[in-house]
Amino acid sequence: DINELISMVSKPISSRLFMNHKPANLAEIEKSLRMSGWNKYFTDGIQYISFSLFLKTLGVLSLLLLFKASMPIAIIWTLALMFGIDTLLRNSTKNRRDLLMSEFPDFIRMTEGYLQAGIPLSQAVNETIKFMGEAWKDILRNFVIQCDTKSVSEALDYLKSEIDLFEVKEFVALVNLSLEQGGDISDSFTAQAEKV
């Protein structure tokens, strides 16, 4: 299992290096892990950093071991091991951001249509899920659960924290502001949808 392998390799590094202090960019890495969907493999940012350090160490070792046999192969393996995982994480994060952003207007337009028909927000979003891509489905299911079990405001905050896009954060902030001023969810959603 990939999770067990990652845990086994990264645990000695994380227990020694990060016992007393946390890395400065930990919050950013954890955001990237959530956004890319890699949080199903890495439990937190420290585990990712530890695994990345392990691969970088393997890269240096491969350079030393393969250098005499073949310099080009040694360089390729070293570069792949040292920079591969970080590059893959950045690309996965960027691709998922682009996918979420491309479907964001569709989400707003469809949900707005259901709200205009007088359907409550959680049910409107639930009806919208079947028309959305895979990147949005789990997020919207959790949004509906938050709406039903907690409140609309907390569900909107969940949406803002889960999707690390400026446009989504601005949309949620404006809808929340409209709700705090006593507006109806349908009216505030429609007003902000026109702006987006």
Q: Which two tokens stand for residue 150?
A: 């907690």
**Model pLDDT, residue 76:** 92
Nearest residue to 58 via CA among 89, 79, 87, 29: 79
Is residue 186 within 8 A of residue 115, CB to CB? The reply is yes
Is residue 33 within 8 A of residue 51, CB to CB? The reply is no
Nearest residue to 47 via CA among 64, 67, 30: 30
Q: 170: part of which helix (H) or strand (E)?
A: helix 166-180
Using CA atoms, how far apart are residues 15 and 8, in angstroms rounded to an integer?
11
Per-residue tens of pLDDT for the chain, all 196 residues: 788 888 888 888 888 887 777 888 888 999 899 888 898 889 888 999 999 999 999 999 999 988 888 888 999 999 999 999 999 999 999 999 999 988 888 888 888 888 888 888 889 889 999 999 888 988 899 999 988 898 888 888 888 888 888 888 888 888 888 777 776 777 777 776 676 6
What pTM did the predictor assign?
A: 0.78
Q: How does 33-42 read in b/e, with b if 16+ C-beta sit within 10 Å?
A: bbbbebbebb
Q: Which two tokens stand for residue 187?
A: 């009216």
Q: Please enumerate in sequence order all residues whose Cβ is within 8 A of that of 146, keeping only pairs 6 or more positions apart, or say none.
A: 154, 155, 158
CB atoms within 10 A of CB 164: 17
